[in-house]
Chains A and B, each alone.
Chain A
């Protein structure tokens, strides 16, 4: 019986298995291409890490680029978490004049094309010395995370029963200590989701650093790997590019697999339903 059932399901497994292979193949290939021998790359003979060694020494060095990316991602995640924690609390628990207008204004960020804002931001940040600055870049990336993260934190707070903080206030907590002691643990899953999305956005963003960062030593990793193609004395080195792709992809894939539950939560919440 089970055999018959499996047999009728065979086309299903062929179809879905094929899909899985198509979606996984490019990832597996890039890892393979980065260590295998290819003409015109730094790995011409057998398998090895020639491409990675070249990447280590390229321009300011792989270490510098990873550090830049970590600084930008760290700052963006930290700022996004603090702002959306406080903001989500304000929008979920307080009534104040201008509340709805401010919330709509935050959501309006989604309607404005990225490039439309980056041109004036380039000039404005330039005026205050924040062009070519990882801090300036992080500020811009944080602003772009606000619609999703504020929405997410607002509904996270709204899902916590009000009695919880009421009893804390009866015990003499003020609103801030109620937030930090009582509410923070309750909204922690929401914070993880917000942090995860902020990390993905900051680690991977390309157009913002392309416009806001001119100094190649301050490039985050995606920009550095994209720029790396242009030099190398006219000859295009595909091997080192794929090595760069692998370095870029590994943290994202590891985090994704480890925190998939929280990633999917971001979709369940309705925060994307705008």
Chain B
């Protein structure tokens, strides 16, 4: 047993070396079995809760499938062609893209600015970091509920304060018009997520070696030059990651609109995921919901592949 363990240990250290394809020894077969044993819970979870549902959604998208009636046979490509008939489809696609663009530009600019400000170690900065990070500990649903009260005409504090200051004459409506509802939601999301992206960018900033800045300073580079020529290029991997996370997250927005605006006013703030939810659980048409899901899934994979390519090439 002990000698076997020694052999195990020796092979463990050589295992990392590049492949001199040896015949599989009993020891290796045993390690492989053990590896599978430890990975088994992961594999079972992924298989049953990810792979199987993925096939089911594909099957549903090709079937006439209602929430209560279940599978009622093939309906291909009816679910897909039917999507175009939904009058909310294109408005929701347009709205989701607009929202994504606005949130991504504002939030990442702000997060980068704050990351640059707070990266230096000091007590005040560590307080600042914490203050900006605390909202990201809240759930998005909790934050949406919080702002639902904050924006309300009944108990919201913002309108009264602005009226008292004489900036506005009559109560402001935060969710009453499509534009106001959009920007109110953008503010909520920026409040909730900026800390998260600030942290990713700050970790990236701290990974830039100090002597590069030192060299730039000696060469007489100004602040802006240093930022343009050193910080931004070296921060590229972190910026790329925040971009991908922020764009993907915004395209899949749901909670904030479901809770805060309820898609209103006049269905002006309906996102694609909300449309999936409505098809499935308000119109009870799982086939249509699945078809839309498949389209979103394919679009998202394409968008992410394009993003990863684009952000890598320029390196």
Contact = CB atoms under 8 A, between A and B. Distances in A.
A213 B50 CA distance: 19
Contact of B53 (A97, A121, A172): A121
B119 interface: no
B45 A170 contact: no
Contacts of B286: 119, 123
Interface string A19-44: 11011101101100100001111000
A24 B134 CA distance: 8
B246 interface: no
Contact of B57 (A40, A117, A200, A226): A117
Interface string A251-274: 011011100100110011000111
B135 A27 contact: yes
Report whether over half of chain B's contact residues are helix, strand or loop; otherwise say mixed.
helix
A72 interface: no
Interface residues of A, number: 98
B168 to A, nearest CB: 19
B54 interface: yes
A62 to B, nearest CB: 15
A75 to B, nearest CB: 13
B204 to A, nearest CB: 10
Contacts of B281: 211
B60 A120 contact: yes
Contact of B203 (A229, A260, A268): A268
A173 B1 CA distance: 10
Contacts of A217: none
Given A23-B135, A113-B300, A120-B57, A87 B49 contact: no
A121 B60 CA distance: 12
A229 to B, nearest CB: 8
Interface in B19-47: 28, 31-43, 45-46
B260 to A, nearest CB: 11
B101 to A, nearest CB: 19
A256 B252 CA distance: 26
Given A115-B277, A238-B149, A87 B38 contact: yes
A175 B240 CA distance: 39
B145 A226 contact: yes
B139 A113 contact: no
B8 interface: yes
B132 A96 contact: no
Report whether over half of chain A's contact residues are helix, strand or loop; otherwise say mixed.
helix
A142 B140 contact: no
Given A24-B131, A222-B141, A225-B145, A170 B35 contact: no
A274 B241 contact: yes
A33 B145 contact: no
A16 interface: yes
Nearest to B114: A19
Given A20-B127, A33-B149, A236-B154, A105 B50 contact: yes
B76 interface: no
Looking at A13, A123, A124, A241, the one whose CB has the most chain B CB atoms below 10 A away is A123
Interface residues of B, number: 93
A204 B139 contact: yes
B124 A170 contact: no
B189 interface: no
B112 interface: no
B134 A253 contact: yes
Contact of B42 (A15, A150, A204): A150
B296 A113 contact: yes
B2 A172 contact: yes
A260 B131 CA distance: 12
A190 B273 CA distance: 33
A196 B8 CA distance: 35
A143 B50 contact: yes
Nearest to A105: B46
Contact of B293 (A33, A116, A239, A263): A116
A116 B58 CA distance: 10
Interface of B: 1-2, 5-6, 8-9, 12-13, 15, 28, 31-43, 45-46, 49-54, 56-57, 60, 70, 114, 117-118, 124, 127-128, 130-135, 137-142, 145-150, 152, 154-155, 157, 191, 194-195, 199-200, 203, 237, 241, 244-245, 252, 254-255, 258-259, 273, 276-277, 280-281, 286, 289-290, 293-294, 296-297, 300-301, 304
Given A115-B273, A238-B149, A253-B138, 7 more contacts: A99-B39, A116-B296, A123-B56, A162-B12, A169-B8, A172-B5, A226-B259
Interface of A: 12-13, 15-16, 19-20, 22-24, 26-27, 29-30, 33, 38-41, 82-84, 86-87, 89-91, 93-97, 99, 102, 105-106, 108-109, 111-117, 119-124, 139-140, 142-143, 146, 150, 162, 166-167, 169-170, 172-173, 175, 200, 203-207, 210-211, 222, 225-226, 229, 236, 238-239, 241-242, 244-245, 248-249, 252-253, 255-257, 260, 263-264, 267-268, 272-274
13 contacts: A19-B114, A23-B194, A94-B32, A95-B31, A96-B36, A102-B42, A113-B252, A116-B276, A117-B50, A206-B140, A226-B145, A226-B259, A253-B137
A-B pairs, 7 with minimum CB distance: A204-B139, A94-B35, A96-B35, A90-B38, A206-B141, A116-B293, A166-B9
